[in-house]
Structure 1
Amino acid sequence: MRGIGQTFEAFLQNIDYLHWYLMSTAFSGIQSPSFRPELTSDREGDAVTLNYYSRRDCCSGIVTGLLTMVARCIFNIHIDITKLSVQKEMVSNRPMVHVRFRITQHPIGLPHIGLNWKKRWNLSKLNSSHKNTGMSVAAKLFGKIHPYHIVFDRRLVILQTGVGLMKHVPETQADGARIDTIFSMTWPEVSLTVQNIERFSNLTFQFEYRKASDKRFFCMKGTIVGMTASAEAHPAELANAPLFLYLGSPMARSVRDLEKMSLKISDIPSHDSTRDLILLKDQRNIEFDVMQQLEKTTSELAGTAAALQKEMRHTDELLHSMIPPLVAEKLKRNEPVQETFDEVTILFSDVVTFTQIAASSTPVQVVQLLNQLYTFFDHLTERNRVYKVETIGDAYMVVGGCPEMDPDHAELVARQAHQMIQGSGHVLVPNTQRPVQIRVGMHRYWSRGGRYSRSEDAPLLPVWRHSQHCLQNGVSRAGRSYSHQSLHLYMPPQQPAVLVRASWSDPSQGEGHDVHLFRGRPGAGRAGGS
């Protein structure tokens, strides 16, 4: 709003242009009001009579407040607004409110600036050596400078047009052609009459030409001023002018709009800023299309990256189900994974009478039984920080202290074994509906893990999955030392009894548990603990 005019009077004169621009771009279809200021003089001095036209009869108070704030905040003046009259008029068979305001201004801390923007300057004093010769422009030259102008009289009969209208709207060259029969006025949305031209003189008038027979279309915008037939006379007021001059230009915002009207850039006068606006609009459209394409590509790349991350997570989950996560990360970094663990504790369990259960149940029931049982065991391994080596049929193997070393591996595996025995009772045999019984054996041993081949092309075959082959003696001993209700742990004679006692508490059971580890002696058979 600060860029509309240098003075408050210029602001009032150009409000209608601001409304036209907003209505034709961002707020199309909205009915805007019209403002037409007139300079008046009375006993109180110079003032402005503002003619306000609106299809809404309740906005005059809002107009008063807005103009007061604009004058104070933008132009640093104080204005007094007095409502002179309010009347309703019929414009194009539609009611419209016409309010007349009287505006006087008082500067705030600045010298008074006169309201008379139509002051006549005496040029004879500035250039006394040259005599006013009454310069004029030939009609042919004027038609080239303004190829889309129209001169018409108060009967709306066309008297003269520019060369552009001669080419694109030849109907204007017919004798007695009327502007209101050839063109329809699309803005303001009133009928094309002399009274409406005088009423909305500050507006930008839009004329549209359509011919359905040959699909011709032409639209232009411009202003209307009054003129006289004498070349030496000054431009006349619209209310007293015998002739009207419409200075227009094609209504186009892009090259596509020009194509609809069969126009080229060269058809627009070089002094008309429409040329620059069209080129700028096309440049912005190209930049916007490129930006949209970049955003689309970025979105697709983001989606591809998200899908890749999802697949990588699935791959990691599959890999971690085969080998420990720590070993998997080392393999990804191409680091050696061959390690030796001085002490580990092995747990081996199976289901009691699994052969009879499988024989008397359907395959689906067997799968559901093992799935329910081993899902619970897997949850325990995560909670007890032990590693599940493998499941084969009803056999379930767990190791503690490997691949991540933990000095409390025996205690963790013992807790795992105890919780497995207690928790397995919640799983029922399909046919008998009796609790499942499992056998659990534990053994403390040494372990070594790595990969079979050093060849870069050879597949990585971690031996973590095959610990039972490297630990045949330990696994066999653990498999033979099983029990239904108590834990029996076997320690080979060559191993020192480093762990004498392991104890833990089970919050779910509200009680503590102790396991005693004994070193085996030749011929001693099973060594047990409770």
Structure 2
Amino acid sequence: MFKSYDDEKTFQLITAACKVSGLPLETVLEVFGQTWLKFCMDNGYEEMLRTLGGDFTSFVQNLDALHAHLSRTYTKLNYPSFRCETNNDGTLTLHYYSKRSGLYYIVLGVIPQIASVLYNQKATITVDSREEQDIENGILDDHVIFTVKLSKNDGNTTVNNKEDSSTIENNKELVCIRPTFPKQTIIQAKHFCNIFPYHLIFDENFVIKQCGSMIQILLKTKMERGSSLTSLFDLTYPRVDFTLTNLMAFINSAFLMTSVKKRNGHSLVLKGQMRWMPDISHMIFISSPCISSLQELKAMDLYISDIPLYDVTRELILLNQQRMAEMEIA
């Protein structure tokens, strides 16, 4: 199960399946997509999949995060990226990006299964357009745009649907609740920068407008007006060119940014989430230091107290240290 096969062998297998079944390539890939969800659920991932999102859209929006998690185990995984937009007519626009050309037919099979099995909905999916897009240094990604229409399921699902009526009702209650927001923020920028010491806000031209306090301290750089994000940090994940178009395309991914300037011979690596703020045309990057051990903490001349109390990075470092100590004792 953990063995990796290159695409050449995969396509040889698909070609053989086409010859034996007499079905065209597109149909074989779509049928594969229809069985993929059941395969994953039958092999230990059912609970993870059922808790990924409270509704279909949330599920799709979090697929990139799931893939990033799985890449720690499946290190050679070359996974696609998904982005979902809600249209005025209630349909969804689904963006699919992949460096593996021609596999998008799998999406046509797996999306209806996700809707039916996990959310008791019927999904009709059609291909709107397909193009090759330059994402990184001339490397072309397959960019396919689908339209997804969701409707109430007739109750017949092709894979066991273990979601009971009480769970469905709870989900309905969550969906019906609409949060309220103040007309204006009551927190000063100074407090925001201290509470979220590893955040950045920048405009469409990558000019930094606001920066967390610890980033400035660690880089020994005051963020003056007009400071350029791309002169201070390199985008190391996703592996795409550092452009606003790419940030928007992979907005559901976890981002890694590495400082150009080094501290004690080590770069500051930040891991976090990008969020576009359309009302002011700015992007906010909420992050944490990408550190998992006391050794890495010391190398950066950092202390645990430099990491906010709410940040799970603290627990990760201490848990890893405890595990290492237990191994030494054993």
TM-score (norm 1): 0.46
Q: Residue 215 of structure 1 corresponds to which residue in structure 2?
A: 265
Q: Deviations over 1:233-271 (max 9, x none)?
A: xxx27xxx4222111111112222222322221111111
1:186 aligns with 2:236: yes
Q: Residue 369 of structure 1 corresponds to which residue in structure 2?
A: none
Q: Residue 84 of structure 2 corresponds to which residue in structure 1?
A: 37
Q: Residue 193 of structure 2 corresponds to which residue in structure 1?
A: 143
Q: 1:88 to 1:41 in 2, by over 3 A?
A: same
1:435-474 superposed matches below 5 A: none
Q: How many residues align?
A: 268
Q: Deviations over 1:397-418 (max 9, x none)?
A: xxxxxxxxxxxxxxxxxxxxxx
Q: Contact 1:161–1:172 (CA<8 Å) still a contact in 2?
A: no
Q: Deviations over 1:328-363 (max 9, x none)?
A: xxxxxxxxxxxxxxxxxxxxxxxxxxxxxxxxxxxx
Give the AA of the match of 2:106: I
Give the AA of the match of 1:141: H
Give the AA of the match of 2:314: R
Q: Contact 1:158–1:172 (CA<8 Å) still a contact in 2?
A: no
Q: Deviations over 1:373-431 (max 9, x none)?
A: xxxxxxxxxxxxxxxxxxxxxxxxxxxxxxxxxxxxxxxxxxxxxxxxxxxxxxxxxxx
Q: 1:217 to 1:29 in 2, by over 3 A?
A: farther
Give unmatched runs, 5+ long, in structure 1. 125-131, 228-235, 294-530
Give the AA of the match of 1:26: T
Q: CA deviation at 1:174?
A: 4.3
Q: Residue 52 of structure 1: which of 91, 96, 106 is its match?
A: 96
Q: Which has the higher helix share?
A: 2
* Aligned-partner Cα distance in 1 for 2:169–2:122: 11
* Aligned-partner Cα distance in 1 for 2:316–2:109: 35
Q: Residue 51 of structure 2 corresponds to which residue in structure 1?
A: 3
1:261 aligns with 2:300: yes
Q: Contact 1:210–1:216 (CA<8 Å) still a contact in 2?
A: no
1:128-167 superposed matches below 5 A: 134-167=184-217
SS in 2 for 1:275: helix
Q: Residue 84 of structure 1 corresponds to which residue in structure 2?
A: 128
* Aligned-partner Cα distance in 1 for 2:78–2:208: 29
Q: Residue 103 of structure 1: which of 135, 144, 148 is its match?
A: 148
Q: CA deviation at 1:137?
A: 1.4
Give the AA of the match of 1:27: Y
* Aligned-partner Cα distance in 2 for 1:64–1:281: 41
* Aligned-partner Cα distance in 1 for 2:118–2:294: 37
Higher relative contact order (CA 8 A, sep 6+): 2
Q: Residue 61 of structure 2: which of 5, 8, 13 is its match?
A: 13
Q: CA deviation at 1:177?
A: 2.1
1:67 aligns with 2:111: yes
Q: Deviations over 1:452-473 (max 9, x none)?
A: xxxxxxxxxxxxxxxxxxxxxx
Give the AA of the match of 1:34: S
Q: CA deviation at 1:183?
A: 0.7
Give the AA of the match of 1:81: I
Give the AA of the match of 1:38: E
Q: Residue 390 of structure 1 corresponds to which residue in structure 2?
A: none
* Aligned-partner Cα distance in 1 for 2:121–2:260: 48
* Aligned-partner Cα distance in 2 for 1:122–1:271: 22
Give the AA of the match of 1:197: L
* Aligned-partner Cα distance in 1 for 2:67–2:222: 30
Q: 1:196 to 1:248 in 2, by over 3 A?
A: same
Q: CA deviation at 1:133?
A: 5.5
Q: CA deviation at 1:175?
A: 4.5
1:282 aligns with 2:326: no
What is the alpha-carbon root mean square deviation over aligned residues?
A: 2.9
* Aligned-partner Cα distance in 2 for 1:208–1:28: 21
Q: Contact 2:219–2:263 (CA<8 Å) still a contact in 1?
A: no
Question: Considering only CA atoms, is the larger Rg found in Structure 1 or Structure 2?
Answer: 1
* Aligned-partner Cα distance in 2 for 1:218–1:171: 13
Q: Deviations over 1:428-451 (max 9, x none)?
A: xxxxxxxxxxxxxxxxxxxxxxxx
* Aligned-partner Cα distance in 1 for 2:262–2:92: 46
Give the AA of the match of 1:103: V
* Aligned-partner Cα distance in 1 for 2:115–2:328: 42
Q: 1:264 to 1:114 in 2, by over 3 A?
A: closer
Q: 1:169 to 1:28 in 2, by over 3 A?
A: farther
Q: 1:73 to 1:181 in 2, by over 3 A?
A: same
